[in-house]
Structure 1
Amino acid sequence: MKKISVFMDDYRSPPDGYVFVETIDECMDLLRNHPIEHLSLDHDLLSRTRNGLMLVKMMINEKLFANRITIHSANSVGGKNMYNCLKQAQKDLIMPHTIIVSLRPLPLKYFPPRVLQHYSDIK
């Protein structure tokens, strides 16, 4: 089965070639049913209680990961919490150390070309 790349956000549009999801339920469905090369996650979603941190905790509990995970949230506190939770899962040997975890906040409106290079290099 071909690996896909997934972009979860409720505001920004995905880079070319990415499967777009707006909710953690859609994202978990893809994690359960498809091999994922790159997963790019936002913290703040339409639901205040079902956010990116909740998704990360679900991923860790079910041991469902992508080869690369980027936290692109502009919410500095929420994004850092997601990143730290994933890094702790690596330290606790729940998530493999081979998975690359990046914290790369994206602006809400305009993506400068060099910012999108991170996504082009991963696809």
Structure 2
Amino acid sequence: MEKISVFLDDYRSAPDGYVLVETIDECIELLKKFKIEHLSLDHDLLDRTRNGFMLVQMMIKEKLFANRITVHSANSGAGKAMYNSLKQAQHDSIMPHSTILSLRPLPLKFFPPRVLQHYLEVQ
């Protein structure tokens, strides 16, 4: 199965080498079809009722995970809720303990070079 890296965001551009998806439905489809090396998630999306937290709940329910998951949402409260839900799933052995999970909020307009390094190292 082909490995890809996925960046869920409806505002920011994806780092080089990442597949950009703008909806949780697109993201779920890729999680089902590919082995995901790195999945980077935003919370606030154009469709306010189908956000990153809902995606995390679906991922946990359907046991769809990546080798690495980064929550990059600038919405600190929602980003922490997403991260904590994934951490709890890992603690409860729903998500593999080998999955590397990180919370790294990204600015909306400018990515400092050292922030992008996190994405470059993942591939």
Q: Shorter-normalised TM-score: what interval?
A: over 0.9
Q: Distance in 2 between matches of 1:2 and 1:43?
A: 26
Shift of 1:47: 1.0
Match for residue 117 of structure 2?
117
1:108 paired to 2:102: no
Question: Residue by residue, what CA displacement relative to the aligned partner does 1:4-27 show, whole Å, maximum 9, x if unpaired?
Answer: 000000000000000000000000
Q: Report SS of the residue matched to 2:20.
A: strand
Aligned length: 123
Runs of 4+ displaced beyond 2 Å = none
- The answer on 1:52 being equivalent to 2:90 is no
Q: State the percentage of identical aligned residues.
A: 76
Deviations 1:73-97 (A, max 9, x none): 0000000000000000011110111
SS of aligned partner of 2:82: helix
Q: CA deviation at 1:2?
A: 2.4
Number of the residue aligned with 2:7:
7
Give the Cα separation in 1 of the matches to 2:34 and 2:104: 24
**Over the residues paired in the alignment, what is the CA RMSD in angstroms?**
0.5
Counterparts of 1:1-123 in structure 2, within 5 Å, are: 1-123=1-123
SS in 1 for 2:5: strand
**AA aligned opposite 1:53:** F
- Compare 90-99 and 24-33 and name the one that shifted more: 90-99
CA distance in 1, matches of 2:61, 2:37: 20
**Alignment TM-score, normalising by the size of structure 1:** 0.99
Q: TM-score, normalising length from structure 2?
A: 0.99
**C-alpha distance in 2 between matches for 1:111 and 1:118:** 11
C-alpha distance in 1, partners of 2:45/2:2?
Answer: 28
